[in-house]
Amino acid sequence: MWLTIMIMMSTACNKPVNNNPLPAAVAKDVAYGDDAKQKFDYYLPAKRNARDTKILILIHGGGWIGGDKRDFQQTVDSLRTELPDYAIFNVNYRLATFQGKNLWPSQMNDVNAAVQYIIDHASEYEINNNKIVIAGASAGAHLALLQAYSYNKDGRIKAVIDLFGPTDMRDLYNNASDPNFPFLLAMFLGGTPSANGFAFDASSPVNNITVAAPPTLILHGTNDRTVPIRQSELLKRELDKKSIRNSYIVYQGAGHGWYGKNLSDTYDKMVNFIRQNVD
SS3 of the chain: the string is CHHHHHHHHHHHHCCCCCCCCCCCEEEEEEECCCCCCCEEEEEECCCCCCCCCEEEEEECCCCCCCCCHHHHHHHHHHHHHHCCCEEEEEECCCCCCCCCCCCCCHHHHHHHHHHHHHHHCHHHHCCCCCCEEEEEECHHHHHHHHHHHHCCCCCCEEEEEEECCCCCHHHHHHCCCCCCHHHHHHHHHCCCCCCCHHHHHHCCHHHCCCCCCCCEEEEEECCCCCCCCHHHHHHHHHHHHCCCCEEEEEECCCECECCHHHHHHHHHHHHHHHHHHCC
Structural domain count of the chain: 1
Above 60 in pLDDT, residue 12?
Answer: no
Tens of pLDDT along 170-215? 999 999 999 999 999 999 999 999 999 999 999 999 999 999 999 9
Asked whether the predicted pLDDT for residue 18 surpasses 70, the reply is: no
**Does residue 85 surpass a pLDDT of 70?**
yes
For residue 16, tell me if it sits in a domain: no
Q: What is the mean pLDDT of the chain?
A: 94
Q: 30: which residues sit within 8 A by CB, 6+ positions away? A: 39, 40, 41, 42
Residue 11 lies inside a defined structural domain of this protein: no
CA distance 177 to 133: 30
pLDDT at position 279, please? 87
Phi, then psi, of 242 in degrees rounded to 5: -90, 5
CATH number at residue 258: 3.40.50.1820
Write the pLDDT tens digit of every residue in 111-159: 999 999 999 999 999 999 999 999 999 999 999 999 999 999 999 999 9
- Is the per-residue pLDDT at 46 higher than 50? yes
Asked if residue 12 belongs to a domain, the reply is no
Q: Answer whether residue 9 is part of any domain.
A: no
207-236 residue pLDDT tens: 999 999 999 999 999 999 999 999 999 999
Asked whether residue 260 carries a pLDDT value surpassing 90, the answer given is yes
Q: Nearest Cα to 48, choosing from 27, 25, 22?
A: 22
Q: What is the pLDDT of residue 20?
A: 66
Radius of gyration of the chain (CA): 21
Average confidence (pLDDT) over 67-77: 98
Res. 8: pLDDT tops 90:
no
Q: Is residue 30 part of a domain?
A: yes
Evaluate whether residue 152 is within a structural domain. yes
pTM for the full model? 0.93
* Among 270, 220, 211, residue whose Cα is nearest residue 239: 211
Confidence of residue 16 (pLDDT cuts 50, 70, 90): very low
Q: Which of 50, 93, 52 is nearest to 72 (CA)?
A: 93
- Give the whole-angstrom CA distance, residue 111 versus residue 145: 11
Does residue 107 sit within a domain?
A: yes
Is 14 a member of any domain?
no
Q: What is the pLDDT of residue 9?
A: 39
Q: Residue 86 is part of which domain span?
A: 21-277
